[in-house]
Structure formats: C-alpha cells, structure tokens
Amino acid sequence: MIKLLKAGFFRLKKDVVFWLFIFLTIGLAIFTLFRHEETKLDVLINEFIMYIGLLIAIFVSIFVGKEYSQGIIRNKIIVGHSRISIFFSNLIISIITSSLCEIIYLVLVFLIGIPLFGQMQMPLSQFALVILNTILVIISFCSIFNFIAMICSEITISTTICIILFIAMYVAQGSFGLIANSNKYINHTYTDENGNTHIISQEPDPNYPGDQKVKQAKIIYLSIPQGQAMEIGNNDLEFLQQMPFYSISLIVIINILGVYIFSKKELK
C-alpha cells in the first residue's frame, strides 16, 4: 500500500487535472469572497462544499481512468499488488487531494474574509461539526466516484457517468430537500429592530405532504452527498448532527461493493 501511495502521489504532482483542481479551487475562493458585498463569514465557509462534488467527479474519473488507459492497474497486479490495495490507494489519494483543496479554500476564506466580513459567529462546537460533516461529504463523493472509475475501464465513459451522476444528485437533493424541509404550519412572523424574528401566529399548511413522506424524503435527502453538502451550506444544526450516520453508512456500503466488484473484474 505504501509503495502504491508513493507512486500515486509522484504521478499526481505531474497530473494536469490535479493542478487544474487546485487553481479552480483558488479561483472559486476568490470569486466567492468578492461576489458578496455584505455577508457573514459563516456563509462563505460553507459555500465550496456545494460545488466540490463536481470537481471531485472530474478529477477522480480522469486520474483513476488514466490507470486503465495507460495500463498502470494491470502492471500493478502483475508485480504483486492486491486489488484491495489498488482500490484503496486510489481512494486515499482522491480523499487527500480533495481535502487539500477544501483546506486551501478555507485558508483563503479566513485570510481574506476576516478583514472584509469580520470574525466567524457560529460557536466553535458547531464549526467542528461543520468540518466533520465536510470531511465525510468529501469522503462520500470520493468513494462514489472512485467506485465508478475503478469498475469502468473506459475513461470517457467513467467521466461521463460521474458527471451525470453528480447532476442527478443535485437534482435529487432539490426534489427531496423540499419535502424533507416541509413544515406542518405556516408561520406569520415579524422582525424587530434587532433583526430577531418572532412568530405571531400559526396555521396548518394544506400542502404539507404528511409525516411519513417527510420522514422518507429526509432519509433519502440525507443519504445523498449533495443533499448533505446543501445542509452544510444551510448550517442546519439538527441535520448536521444526524448526517455523520448517513455519510459513514454510505461510505462503508459503497466501498465494500466497490472492492467486491473490482476483485471480480476481468482486466483487458
């Protein structure tokens, strides 16, 4: 495994897609910072996670796909590396690369954002929960796209599937998110001079889909990495506390399935 990781990181340093990932991250950080005239640092911290899935899809599918197109995976097996080691070494490289980009984004946001927008307002405990979920969402994205790239030998096909899947997840989180975030009641509110919102009265929402449908939609919504990313962006404490269970479950299932299929795959 160590030799595979060393070889992978050596190849990574010369990989155009890796450097494109880095430069796009820097560009998105700067764009995010300067497209807001008035906002909170708390909002900026969470924006990148909503877009990083697409960058991971492109990076992982191309980086891993090159191992097939250049015969690297076949050579690894010939020299005695196990398929499990090959599978997880690519996953680890993908996770480290994606996490590095997230760190670059956060560093830029803090360095430039604090002078522009002031200090972060959320409690440290909540920020730690945001970071935990951000890491788990990145691992989830990497697991899904590494799974696809490892079982699909054609780089063009795997890249197309990964991008389409990301778009599908984006659409799905929008649909299920609307139901999962439904309220039983319509609140009539007012905002005081301090910016605090107060509820005056409530009435039942005739369009409420029902508790069972909301519960089912919530399970699906929080099982989709893009749905989790959206809730990190929304900074919903209730969902943030629940998401690690869904992320870890998804990561375990996807990687067990990926290792099993890859171990049975015939390499040409």
DSSP SS3 for 224: coil
pLDDT at 36 over 70: yes
Q: What are phi and psi of 185, to 5 degrees?
A: -125, 150
pLDDT the model gives residue 193? 60
Domain spans of the chain, in order of start = 2-186+197-264
Predicted pLDDT at 144: 96
For the stretch 62-86, pLDDT in tens is 999 888 888 888 888 888 888 899 9
The C-alpha atoms of residue 222 and residue 226 are separated, in whole angstroms, by: 9
* Residue 248 confidence (pLDDT): 94
The pLDDT value given to residue 137: 95
Per-residue pLDDT band for 138 (boundaries 50, 70, 90) equals very high
Among 133-147, 194-208, 231-245, which range has the highest average pLDDT?
133-147
> From the centroid of its chain, how far is CA 172?
15
User: How far is Cα 228 from Cα 246, in angstroms, rounded to an integer?
Assistant: 9
**Cα within 13 Å of Cα(24), Cβ side:** 16
Averaged pLDDT for residues 25-51: 85
Q: Per mean pLDDT, which range of 18-27, 124-133, 175-184, 226-235 is the poorest?
A: 175-184
pLDDT at 178: 82
Kindly report the average pLDDT of the chain as a whole number.
87
> Any residues with CB less than 8 A from the CB of 190 and at least 6 apart, and which?
197, 198, 200
Q: Give yes or no for a contact between 57 and 102, defined as CB atoms under 8 angstroms apart.
A: no
Q: Is pLDDT of 131 > 90? A: yes
pLDDT higher than 90, residue 179: no
Q: How confident is the model at residue 107 (pLDDT cuts 50, 70, 90)?
A: very high
CA distance 149 to 60: 7
pLDDT band at 50 (very low <50, low <70, confident <90, very high): confident
Q: In this model, does residue 205 exceed pLDDT 70? A: no
> How does residue 125 score in pLDDT terms, banded at 50, 70 and 90?
confident
What single letter denotes the amino acid at residue 219? Answer: I
Cα separation, 82 vs 76, whole angstroms: 8
DSSP per-residue codes, 16-27:
HHHHHHHHHHHH
- Alpha-carbon span 254 to 237, nearest angstrom: 26
Please determine, for residue 141, whether its predicted confidence score (pLDDT) is greater than 60.
Answer: yes
Work out the average pLDDT over 194-203: 63
pLDDT at residue number 114: 87
Distance from the Cα of residue 62 to its chain's centroid: 18
Collapsed DSSP state (helix, strand, coil) of residue 256: helix
Average pLDDT, stretch 165-179? 89
Q: Is the pLDDT of residue 192 over 70?
A: no
